[in-house]
Amino acid sequence: MRAAALVLVAAAAGAQTATPAAQPPQATTLRVCADPDNLPYSREDGSGFENRIARLVADDLGLQLEYAWLPDRRGFVRKTMGSGLCDLIIGVPVEFERTLNTRPYYRSSYVLVESAALGAPPAGFDDPRLRQWRIGVQLMGDDFATTPPGYALAQAGAVDNIVGFPLPGEEPAAARMVQALDRGELDAAFLWGPQAGYYAQRAARPLQLHYVPPPPTLAQQPFSFDIAMGVRRGDTALRDRLNDLMTRRQADIDRILAEYGVPRVQEKAP
């Protein structure tokens, strides 16, 4: 992800010859950067929850909605927002440094997805079942590093029973993991919340989602993250309009997230 440089220009002139600066034209279009095939977030047919939120934002601000489509891979922000193709990314971590970010509009977490028939879910990583179940985890990046729950499982001694699913593939890793749960090839899987909720809703058998808190020894590996909207660095006007919109329309945003099964956790403590 990537950022546009903020340039401040100052000019001085004599009062006798100064003329009023021309006002920039009022924007009539909201240009959104998005992946054309990345459910549950976005899709070119508008079926992702970030598409729904983008439509809500554009309608509320009285702007025409347009997209700059690009797969969300390395260089996404630089090639879209950084090249002046768009104004807004609907979902970024609130601490993401390459955009100017709004306040968070939801907070989600990695969750354990398992068959509802397995009974009470584990309350912590010390549960012995986590060393016995076949558990899927997502593998990220070129070096196939695991997600934070993967590190917690390894620390708990769950190694030989873990099955890794690289993010690249014909289908999203989350979809492949839920399909493996349906076929009985996995007993459980740790997935990022929005993906877990969306694909679990579409599973062939009932699945349950459960938050398993990280062990204290892995405090540097958070499981939960605040998600905000990102605009070009320096575009405080749009950022402020979006913050105001969230104050007024948070209930509508929450309804969209609920429709897509996005699990939300409480805000982190100050």
CATH of the domain at 83: 3.40.190.10
Angle at 258 between CA 246 and CA 270, to 5 degrees: 55
* In-domain check, residue 18: no
**Residue closest to 215 by CA, chosen among 131, 112, 124, 108:** 124
From CA 48, how far away is CA 87, in angstroms rounded?
A: 19
Q: Are residues 157 and 185 in the same domain?
A: yes
* 3-state SS, one letter per residue, for 179-201: HHHHCCCCCEEEEEHHHHHHHHH
Residue 58 contacts residue 64 (beta carbons within 8 Å) = yes
Q: Are residues 156 and 200 in the same domain?
A: yes
* In-domain check, residue 241: yes
* In-domain check, residue 22: no
From CA 67, how far away is CA 87, in angstroms rounded?
A: 10
* Residue 76 structural domain: 29-106+226-259
Which pLDDT value is given to residue 268? 56
Q: Are residues 35 and 120 in the same domain?
A: no
Q: Are residues 162 and 243 in the same domain?
A: no
Q: Are residues 101 and 189 in the same domain?
A: no
Which pLDDT value is given to residue 26? 63
Residue 23 contacts residue 58 (beta carbons within 8 Å) = no
Q: Are residues 118 and 251 in the same domain?
A: no
* pTM (two decimals): 0.85
**Residue closest to 109 by CA, chosen among 209, 41, 226, 193:** 193
Q: Are residues 112 and 204 in the same domain?
A: yes
* In-domain check, residue 19: no
From CA 4, how far away is CA 20, in angstroms rounded?
A: 28
Q: Are residues 99 and 57 in the same domain?
A: yes
* In-domain check, residue 247: yes
In sequence order, what are the residues at sequence separation of 6 or more whose Cβ sits closer than 8 angstroms to the Cβ of residue 176?
A: 165, 169
* In-domain check, residue 198: yes
pLDDT tens by residue, the chain, 270 residues: 333 332 222 222 233 333 343 334 567 999 999 999 999 999 999 999 999 999 999 999 999 999 999 999 889 999 999 999 999 999 999 999 999 999 999 999 999 999 888 888 999 999 999 999 999 999 986 666 889 999 999 999 999 999 999 987 788 999 999 999 999 999 999 999 999 999 999 999 899 999 999 998 887 788 999 999 999 999 999 999 999 999 999 999 999 999 999 999 985 543
CB atoms within 10 A of CB 203: 14
Outline where 6-119 has alpha helix (H): 49-61, 76-79
Q: Are residues 82 and 40 in the same domain?
A: yes
What's the domain count of the chain?
2
Would you state the structure tokens that stand for residue 247, as one six-digit string?
A: 């104050």
Q: Are residues 116 and 194 in the same domain?
A: yes
* In-domain check, residue 6: no
* In-domain check, residue 266: no
